[in-house]
Amino acid sequence: MPTYRYDHVHLRSIDPDAMAGFFERMFGAEVVRGTYAAGTFYPGEPRVFVKLGGQTVLIAPPHHDEPTGPAPSFPYYGVEHIGLTVDDIDAAVADLRAKGAKFAVEPMDYSAGTRLAFIRGPEGVMVEIVQRR
């Protein structure tokens, strides 16, 4: 059987730079900006990668050949949210509130040893913050 390794999550955004700015501002993500090369889906358009927690999030502009539908209402089927783990959820929540984060689910004890919260990002993106004890 082939070996599979994680490569990236792909988000589509009306404004990829603004979406990247959200991850940069809220979570300290590293944003790498460039331009799509000729021969790709989006030649000459901005190419934005977010490096967060050792993982990559690619943020692409609207698709040029097909209309892009609006974000679904939460919760929904499919890839529903991005989960980030923290050592101290209460400190993370305080930090995010100070930065203006909008909470969809306030911090709660989900199960024995698991505390979590959800914040709303731009364009319907949901981010879970979770602490496992």
Question: Which whole number is the average pLDDT over 36-48?
Answer: 84
How far is the C-alpha of 44 from the C-alpha of 28, rounded, in Å?
27
Peptide linkage before 75 cis (omega within 30 of 0): yes
CATH 3.40.50.11690 holds for 1-63: no
CATH architecture of 74-133: Roll (3.10)
**Where do the domains of the chain lie?**
1-63, 74-133
Q: pTM for the whole thing?
A: 0.86
- Degrees, nearest 5: CA angle 74-76-77: 160
- The model's pLDDT over 13-24, given as tens digits with 9 standing for 90+, comes to 989 999 999 999
4 pLDDT tier (thresholds 50, 70, 90): low
